[in-house]
Amino acid sequence: MSFISLNCNKNFFYVIVYWVLEIIFYVLFLNYKYCFAFTNNLVHREYTFVILLNIGDLLSGFLVIYTKCVSKSRRDEETKKENNDIRHHTTELIFISDNAEKIQIKPYKGKLILICILDYISRSFYWISYAITKAEDDDISFIFQKDIVCTFDIIMRYIFSIVILKMPLYRHSILSIIIIGIGFAILLISDIFFMKNENKNTSKTLILTGITLLRGLLFPYEDVLVKQLFRDDYILPGTINF
């Protein structure tokens, strides 16, 4: 018997690749920001990022096409192996499934449109906050802003999961919420000291934080809607991303 064993789904490889690429991107972005600056205007720059993010989502259309082609080829191979009666029965099932999918188009399409709207608005809060505050990068304490928004985001995910998804609240969930609260209190105190020591503009930081705090409300609600589509309508991730 081995001392340590690892039983991992091969699809997790894609998650690891994503993590590595995202870490590399953020390291480059934080150390060479000038290479990612399309313009000196922060509002235009942040809105450009929104456009690029949406273009990235549209590229998932290639995954949708690939999935359909693979599914079709596998279905064709399976039907060839079956006899005429089974093929006829399978054809009827596929026909019924296709009709059922057409019947369900209206309910989940409305939810998909809502998800798209929430995603666009959530991604736009940065350029909106810059446009309102007229702030520059040196004016804002981004550590303070991100710690508050991320903590609020996590808490809202718990709330939406319990209220909308009817997720049971276990003891370890309660413990994690308590630990998050303690960690947030420590971060908040340290962030305030950091903001004062770095002479950041407190009023602009608070206004920008207040606006971007809405991301911590809309993104969790959007993800809950996505979870419902996965669970109730069996939509593939690539399809919903597209």
- 174 lies in some domain: yes
Residue 189 domain flag: yes
Residue 19 lies in a domain: no
What is the residue-level pLDDT of the chain in tens, covering all 242 positions? 667 777 777 778 888 998 999 999 889 988 887 777 777 788 898 899 899 988 988 888 888 888 888 877 666 666 666 655 555 555 545 544 554 444 444 567 888 889 999 999 999 999 999 999 888 878 888 888 888 999 999 999 989 998 998 888 888 888 988 998 899 999 889 988 888 888 888 888 889 999 999 999 999 999 999 998 888 888 888 888 88
Question: How many CB atoms are closer than 10 A to CB 45?
Answer: 17
* 212 close to 125: Cβ distance less than 8 angstroms: yes
Q: How far apart are CA 51 and CA 197, in angstroms?
A: 35
| Secondary structure class of 90 (helix, strand, coil) | helix
Considering the domain boundaries, does residue 52 fall inside one?
yes
Domain membership of residue 99 (yes or no) is: yes
Number of structural domains in the chain? 1
Domain range spanning residue 227? 42-241
16 inside domain: no
Are residues 191 and 147 in contact, defined by beta-carbon separation less than 8 angstroms?
yes
Q: Is residue 184 part of a domain?
A: yes
Q: Is residue 25 part of a domain?
A: no
Name every residue whose Cβ is closer than 8 Å to that of residue 225 and which is 6 or more positions away in sequence.
111, 114, 115, 118
